[in-house]
Amino acid sequence: MTLDFNHNFYELFGLAPRFELDLAELDRSYREIQVQIHPDKYAQAGDADRRASMQWTTRVNEAYQTLKEPMRRAAYLLALHGVDPEFETNTAMSPEFLTRQMEWREAVEEASNAADACELVRLSARLRKDLDQLYGEMTRELRAQASYPAAAQTLRKLKFLEKVNEEIGDAHERLEA
């Protein structure tokens, strides 16, 4: 195996370190690497080669999952540039954002309590617009390297709204059950 554990996730897949990714290219590179390292290929090999195959499989899977998912990719990219999004320690948000988030949660709770699946679908569509806008901001901020702190703030907002999105999905699933 000629892969290098010192490579970051982007280097591992031969991709430029940026937020915008060609997911088809990521998938292609992932499959190519999997062919090289898959444990089945090393089933008859020595212990060291089998162990290396397992380690590489774990690392490549982690890298793939990180780069495939936009929020994880953004957090990873920020970390590469020494910026911590401070998910656990920095929950400061503008009063407007916090008010909007409370409104989202109340609307989801009301629709859920009323067993109004149509309203949940409408809420999901409206939330998707807000999420798309924030992902657009994130893209612009990560392109402008001086905007990494702003990107970290946007990522924290995205985390809040993705949680609301999960709540909408959970409420919808409960209604379908």
Same domain assignment for residues 64 and 99: no
How large a percentage of the chain has pLDDT more than 70? 97
The pLDDT score that the predictor gives to residue 1 is 43
Same domain, yes or no: 172 and 99: yes
Cα distance between residue 109 and residue 52, in whole Å: 49
- Domain membership of residue 155 (yes or no) is yes
Flag whether 81 is in a domain.
Answer: no
Percent of the chain with pLDDT over 90: 66
Assess if residue 1 is contained within a domain.
no
**Is the residue at 18 inside a domain?**
yes
C-alpha distances (whole Å) from 153 to each of 56, 91, 141, 150 are 33, 9, 10, 5
Q: What is the number of domains present in the chain? A: 2
Extended strands (E) in 39-81: none
How far apart (Å, rounded) are the C-alpha atoms in residues 114 and 23?
A: 39
Asked whether residue 139 falls in the same domain as residue 99, the answer is yes
Q: Provide long-range contacts, Cβ within 8 A and 24+ apart, for 83-87.
A: 83/148, 83/149, 83/151, 83/152, 84/152, 85/152, 85/155, 85/156, 86/152, 86/156, 87/156, 87/159
Read off the CATH number of the domain in which 25 is found.
Answer: 1.10.287.110
> How far is 158 from 164, CA to CA, in rounded Å?
10
Note whether 112 and 62 are same-domain residues: no
90: left (phi over 0), alpha (psi -120 to 50) or beta: beta
Kindly state whether residues 57 and 112 are assigned to the same domain: no
Asked, for residue 161, whether it belongs to a domain, the answer is: yes
Q: What's the confidence (pLDDT) of residue 3? A: 63
Question: Same structural domain for residues 105 and 172?
Answer: yes
Q: Are residues 102 and 156 in the same domain?
A: yes
Q: Could you tell me the pTM of the whole model?
A: 0.84
Q: Are residues 102 and 160 in the same domain?
A: yes
Residue 17 backbone class (left: φ over 0; alpha: ψ -120 to 50; beta: rest): beta
- From 34-43, 71-80, 126-135, the region with the lowest mean pLDDT: 34-43
Q: Give the residue numbers spanning the domain of 130.
A: 95-176
Q: What is the pLDDT of residues 73-114, one digit of tens each?
A: 999 999 999 998 877 777 778 899 889 989 999 999 999 999
> What's the whole-number mean pLDDT along residues 36-60?
79
